Amino acid sequence: MASVRLRHPEGVSTLQIPLNDDTFTVLDFQQLIYTTTKILPSRQAIKTGYPPQSLTLIPELPYSSLGIMKGDQIIVSESSSSAPSHAPVQAPFDAAPILASREPSRVKTTQANPISNPVPENLAGPDFVDTADGNVLVHRVVPDDNSCLFSATALIFEQSISKAQDLRKIVADGIRSDPDTYNEAILGMAPAQYIQTISRPTTWGGAIELGIIAKHYGAEIASIDVETGRIDRFSPPEDRNNGMRCIVIFSGIHYDAASLAPMSDAPSEWHQTLFPVVFLEDETDPILMAAKKLADILRSKKAYTNTTTFDLKCEQCGQGLKGEKEARAHAEQTGHVRFGEY
């Protein structure tokens, strides 16, 4: 056990945190704080360090992701918002030059020079929309760690973003087992090279990966684009289709998940991530209609990136570039692979 000093509105306490326990999550940590402070996890604002810096709280992640060390002091206050403290969506620049469409790019850039995709402060927290049955469809934010597609689908199908690497293996196995479909022409490189690349945690995924994951789990993945509201569907073969559907939210360079819950800050175990396909048309399916409304909210907050028009700068030579097309051409001509957004 490790001792962590907790400063809160009622005084100072000491928390005992289990060491080397990957099953102890951020939510478990927040529940421990709740037993001492009676501040609900959904209203906890947590800071640490000097000067104190706010922590990003993603309940499903292991406690170790917070980076709190033995003997550290944390400061807890009650937020005026009823929403969990999630950081704004920011998608790092890890494709070459970027993952612009549903197809993954594979030339690696350095993680030390991410593209920052700033969004308004009021994006923090889960956005949600009411549904006809009295529940809410919630925007489930996953980390910007180059595995967002795998984290979002792991949250949906395995109920834990910690399973993201397992879904990479599912993709690799899917390519390996179907060489006729996933050939060099489709993948853009030799299948063995693609498998090696997509298995790395620094490589983004796209349409190919969504299709394989949909086939593996036998469920449709409906990907809604925040900027346009367009829904792209990745369906399993008819003989593998279990009649279920899930929702992922695509910002242009980042994937999140959506789930149904009785309230926006409900515990993760109360969330439903798979829905029966009752209606095929977007305009009649209540979950797809709610997903479109959720995308409308995010669009109003500019929580998307248009990868064909955004302004970039090569961090290696300083040249200004417009969109993915120019960045790709520049990378091919110069070998430069570090870009930043103006």
Q: Of the listed 86, 139, 254, 271, which one is catalytic?
A: 254
Q: Is 148 a catalytic residue?
A: yes
Q: Of the listed 145, 225, 232, 282, which one is catalytic?
A: 145
Question: Measuring CA to CA, how many Å separate 197 from each of 147, 171, 249?
Answer: 13, 11, 24
AA letter at 51:
P
- State how far the Cα of 275 lies from the Cα of 338, in Å rounded to an integer: 40
Give 224: exposed, middle or buried? Use CB within 10 Å, 0-12, 13-18, 19+.
Answer: buried
SS3 letters for the chain?
Answer: CEEEEEEECCEEEEEEECCCCCCCEHHHHHHHHHHHHCCCHHHEEEEECCCCEECCCCCCCEHHHHCCCCCCEEEEEECCCCCCCCCCCCCCCCCCCCCCCCCCCCCCCCCCCCCCCCCCHHHCCCCEEECCCCCEEEEECCCCCCCHHHHHHHHHHCCCHHHHHHHHHHHHHHHHHCCCCCCHHHHCCCHHHHHHHHCCCCCCCCHHHHHHHHHHHCEEEEEEECCCCCEEEECCCHHHCCCEEEEEEECCCCEEEEEEECCCCCCHHHCECCEECCCCCCCCCHHHHHHHHHHHHHHHCCCCCCCCCCEEEECCCCCEEEHHHHHHHHHHHHCCCCEEEC
Q: Of the listed 72, 225, 282, 336, which one is catalytic?
A: 336
Q: Of the listed 148, 246, 265, 271, which one is catalytic?
A: 148
Q: Is 145 a catalytic residue?
A: yes
Q: Is 246 a catalytic residue?
A: no
Q: Is 254 a catalytic residue?
A: yes
Which are the catalytic amino acids? 145, 148, 254, 336
